């Protein structure tokens, strides 16, 4: 029998995760290399300066130093999140990676429900209290065809359920990948949790797209943490 220590993977220490986040962000955002240490030095220096004016530089410097670390960490977190979104923005399946952390009453399938093999347009489906949400990764101007076909399929299993269509992209009328999670989260509830679960159960029987999807996002790199999305 294998020992519990061998079966349970070791957690990565927080300082290693922090260093990984820093090096990842720095490789894609050169400003971070000097902005983070400058923030620590500047805020601490301001605290020491105030301390000299109040004739107690040691106390105010000691007080300013942890504040500088918190501000630097917030700055790094913001830049890290931005770098993550930029890393996956143009990759196939990026919207699924962004929506994966949404667990509160949301159901998102692992595979797209519709695929255009020529244009690589994808259509993902989610179910939550706002109803059904169709997330389109539109690389062409013909995503409407996939949406119309999916709506016809849904009319058989969820005729009276509200349907919201969101196109991901940077063109007019589309939602940037960095704002996708917040856009979905802000949709107004129209179903109870039990109704949403029942809709998901019925739609699961419909299945999804059976066409091959080109490989896009590496889930180990593309996963957006729930903490970064808050």
Tell me the pLDDT tens digit for each residue of 52-88.
998 898 999 999 999 999 999 999 988 888 887 777 7
| 45 shares its domain with 144 | no
Q: Which of 49, 70, 88 is the last residue of a domain?
A: 88
pLDDT at 203 over 90: no
| 76 shares its domain with 110 | no
Per-residue pLDDT band for 129 (boundaries 50, 70, 90) equals very high
| 57 shares its domain with 170 | no
| 107 shares its domain with 42 | no
Residue holding tokens 């399938």? 109
Measure the CA–CA gap between 216 and 203, rounded to whole angstroms. Answer: 25
pTM: 0.68
pLDDT at 191 over 80: yes
What burial letters (b/e) apply to 136-162, b meaning 16+ CB within 10 Å? bbbbeeebeebbeebeeebeeebeebe
| 84 shares its domain with 125 | no
Dihedral over alpha carbons 27, 30, 32, 33 (to 10 degrees): 90
The domain containing residue 41 runs over which residues?
13-88
Per-residue pLDDT, 141:
66
């Amino acid at each position: 029998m294998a020992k519990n220590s061998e079966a349970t993977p070791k957690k990565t220490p927080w300082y290693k995760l922090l260093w990984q986040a820093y090096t990842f962000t720095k490789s894609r955002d050169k400003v971070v290399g000097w902005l983070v240490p400058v923030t620590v030095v500047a805020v601490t220096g301001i605290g020491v300066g105030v301390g000299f004016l109040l004739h107690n530089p040691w106390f105010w410097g000691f007080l300013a130093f942890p504040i500088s670390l918190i501000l630097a960490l917030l700055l790094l977190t913001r830049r890290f999140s931005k770098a993550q979104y930029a890393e996956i923005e143009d990759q196939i399946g990026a919207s699924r990676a962004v929506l994966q952390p949404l667990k509160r009453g949301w159901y998102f399938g692992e595979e797209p429900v519709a695929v255009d093999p020529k244009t690589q347009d994808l259509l993902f489906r989610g179910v939550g209290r706002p109803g059904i949400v169709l997330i389109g990764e539109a690389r062409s101007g013909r995503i409407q065809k996939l949406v119309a076909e999916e709506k016809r399929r849904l009319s058989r299993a969820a005729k009276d359920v509200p349907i919201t269509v969101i196109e991901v992209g940077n063109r007019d009328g589309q939602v940037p990948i960095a704002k996708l999670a917040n856009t979905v989260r802000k949709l107004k509830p129209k179903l109870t949790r039990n109704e949403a679960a029942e809709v998901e159960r019925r739609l699961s029987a419909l299945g999804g797209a059976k066409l091959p999807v080109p490989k896009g996002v590496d889930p180990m790199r593309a996963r957006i943490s729930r903490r970064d999305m808050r």
